[in-house]
Amino acid sequence: MTTVVRKTISLPPELAQAAEEMARAEGKTLSAIVQDALRQAREKRLSDEFKGLQDYWSKTAKARGVLSEEDLERYLRE
């Protein structure tokens, strides 16, 4: 049995109406629509964070002359 936590949220009327229309169109509950949206938002946030880390380490590596796997191996041995 799945455990759920009930929460009350407030939405502007136009967003509430759009969510209800999506639920009807997709044959889902309003709760399922909100859950899907939150999962997508979390996935996007994690993806953006990962890309930011990649950018940081890529710039750091380039600044230190690490441009290939061979450069990295050499750098790590120093």
| Cα distances (Å, whole numbers) of residue 3 to 6, 21, 31, 42 | 10, 27, 14, 20
Number of C-beta neighbours around residue 3 at 10 A: 4
pLDDT by 10s per residue, the chain, length 78: 789 999 999 999 999 999 999 999 999 999 999 999 999 999 999 999 999 999 999 999 999 889 998 988 888 888
pLDDT at 22: 97
φ, ψ of residue 13 in degrees (nearest 5): -50, -45
pTM exceeds 0.85: no
- Closest C-alpha to 33, from 21, 42, 44: 21
Q: How far apart are the first and last CA of the chain?
A: 55
